[in-house]
């Protein structure tokens, strides 16, 4: 699973921040990482330095699953850490739900049960 981190000009885009973000996402998605090819992370400060405020850090995650359309989630929080953790949790739940529905569909048989002709 490849994780690409993008930041706007108001978020520290250092390699240490990117490594911390990758670590949180990798941990949250570890159980299903074999079915995820790529995760794109977009971090932004919604109102930059112009005004203070709660929940102005935004984390948008887009995951690309093998053989499926990409899925995306967004979370906003007061800190970068909280925004990344919140979005990671949302994405993990969404992917688990999506894959669970797919498994359930595969388990349903659509062909009729044929009687065993070898039994009298």
Q: How many domains does the chain have?
A: 1
Does residue 119 sit within a domain? no
Does residue 29 sit within a domain? yes
Q: Which residues of 10-46 are buried (b: 16+ CB within 10 A; e: fewer)?
A: bbeeeeebbeebbebbeebbeebeebbeebbbbbbbe
- Rounded CA-CA distance 41/21 in Å is 9
For the entire predicted model, the pTM comes to 0.80
CATH number where 44 lies: 3.30.160.100
Is pLDDT at 103 greater than 80 in this prediction?
no
Of 6 and 102, more confident? 6
Is pLDDT at 120 greater than 60 in this prediction?
no
Residue 74 structural domain: 2-107
pLDDT 10s digits, 3-32:
999 999 888 889 999 999 999 999 999 999
Of 12 and 88, more confident? 88
Does residue 113 sit within a domain? no
Task: Please give the sequence-ordered ranges of beta strands (E in DSSP) within the chain, or none if there are none.
Answer: 2-7, 36-45, 57-65, 71-77
pLDDT 10s digits, 47-84:
776 666 677 899 999 999 988 889 999 999 999 999 99
């Amino acid at each position: 699973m490849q994780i690409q981190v993008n930041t706007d000009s108001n978020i520290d885009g250092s390699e240490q921040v990117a490594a911390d973000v990758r670590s949180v996402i990798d941990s949250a998605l570890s159980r299903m990482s074999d079915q995820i090819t790529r995760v794109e992370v977009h971090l932004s400060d919604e109102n930059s330095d112009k005004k203070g405020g709660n929940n102005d850090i935004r984390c948008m995650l887009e995951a690309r699953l093998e053989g499926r359309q990409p899925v995306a989630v967004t979370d906003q929080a007061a800190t970068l850490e909280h925004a990344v953790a919140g979005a990671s949790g949302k994405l993990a739940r969404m992917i688990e739900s999506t894959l669970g529905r797919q498994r359930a569909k595969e388990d349903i048989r659509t062909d009729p049960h044929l009687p065993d002709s070898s039994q009298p």
